Amino acid sequence: MNFTPAQLAAALDSTNLRLDATEADITTLCEDAAKHRFACVMLYPTSVAHAAQVLAGTGVRIGTVVGFPSGRFSPEAKIAEVIAARTAGAHEVDVVMNYAALLDGDLEWVDGELRAVARAARAQGLLLKIIVETCYLDADHRISALRLCEDAGADFIKTSTGFGTAGAQVDHIAGWAAARRGPIRLKASGGIKTLAQARALLDAGATRLGTSNAVQILAELTSGGDDAATTPGAGY
């Protein structure tokens, strides 16, 4: 599929979840997002208020992470983070599922967690993406995760935190695209560094890509370049 620069930019969540990110780094992230009209900036919760100041009046959306990166937080803690994110100025939350509970087969518990988090996100007017960390899930688990996210009413299911053993995989996105029953959207993240990777994931069915390389990927398109695809790995 061919994309215009504007179409590609509108699919990119420009991300800085580096452990050593400074306020200056977040300012640059936001300024670049405003310049290129990326879909969203994704950053840690304590950076949301600063991003809201930098992006005031630009229309660029702000996203933050919840239960990150392990997902092993109580539903009550995740709900508190969701509420705090909205108060600070976020528009979107990427919440990590307790995928360890999914692996243990406790689907009822995961279902309850996701429904509670989804209710909180809706009450706050936040777009909700659920991160399921596909590198640890087999095909059956990935479909179970999709069903749980659909049943909870999540807006997106998302592949990865970027801190697992691997990132976004084209076959995982394609599998979800073929199996979904309703309007849930797909976000790929983790290890997306080139235009070729971005094209492959969007062609497979993703409508958002989380990447710390948004500016570089967009520059590849505008310069007419297209690197050979490489296997996505861990890290944004």
Domains identified in the chain and CATH numbers: 5-223 (3.20.20.70)
104-124 pLDDT, tens digit each: 999 999 999 999 999 999 999
Q: Establish whether the linkage from the previous residue to 183 is cis, with ω within 30° of 0.
A: no
In the block, residue with structure tokens 């398109």: 221
Q: How far apart are CA 94 and CA 97, in angstroms?
A: 10
89: left (phi over 0), alpha (psi -120 to 50) or beta: left
Tokens in use for 100? 């360890």
Q: Determine the Cα–Cα distance for residues 132 and 122; give it in Å rounded to an integer.
A: 20
User: What is the total residue count of the chain?
Assistant: 236
Q: Which pLDDT score is estimated for 225?
A: 64
Active site residues: 94, 158, 187
Residue 74 has pLDDT above 70, yes or no: yes
- The packing angle between helices 170-179 and 139-152, to 10°, is 50
pLDDT at 226: 59
**pTM of the predicted structure, to 2 decimals:** 0.94
- Residues 130-180 pLDDT 10s: 999 999 999 999 999 999 999 999 999 999 999 999 999 999 999 999 999
Q: Residue 32: pLDDT above 50?
A: yes
